[in-house]
Amino acid sequence: MMPFAFCTCEKRWCEFAEPVNGESTQFLQEFALKYNMVIISSILERDINHGGTLWNTAVIIGNHGNIIDFLEYCYFLFKLGTSMEPIAFVYCNC
C-alpha cells in the first residue's frame, strides 16, 4: 500500500512524510486510547536523523495510547526469475 496510497494530483506523495511521532501517529494514539485497542498502522516517515530518508514505517500503538514499537523499512527491487537477490535497495530522499 505504501507509498502509493498517498499519490494525489495536487501533492507529491513524499510531501505527506512526517516523523514517527507526527500528526498521524498522534491521531492513532488518541483513537487507540479512546477505544481501548491496539493499532498497527503503516505511515510514511521522514527520518531527519538519517538525512531525511523516507521509510515505510509500521507503528504499533498500545491500548493506552503509547507507541510500543515501530519498524522502518524501504523497498527491495528484484529481477523476475532470479534467486531473489536484490538488485537495488531504494532509499527515498524527496
Q: Read off the DSSP letter of residue 36.
A: T
**Per-residue pLDDT, 94:** 45
Answer whether residue 88 shows pLDDT above 90: no
Note the pLDDT tens digit of each residue in 61-83.
Answer: 999 999 999 988 765 545 555 55
Across residues 13-26, what is the average pLDDT?
Answer: 88
Answer whether residue 11 shows pLDDT above 70: no
Average pLDDT score over the chain: 77
Longest dimension (CA), the chain: 48
- Cα-based distances in Å from 3 to 17, 53, 66, 74, 88: 10, 13, 25, 10, 17
User: Is residue 62 helix, strand or coil?
Assistant: coil
**Cell of residue 79, nine digits:** 529481477
- Give the closest residue to 74 by CA, choosing from 92, 48, 52, 86: 92
Note the pLDDT tens digit of each residue in 52-66.
Answer: 888 888 999 999 999
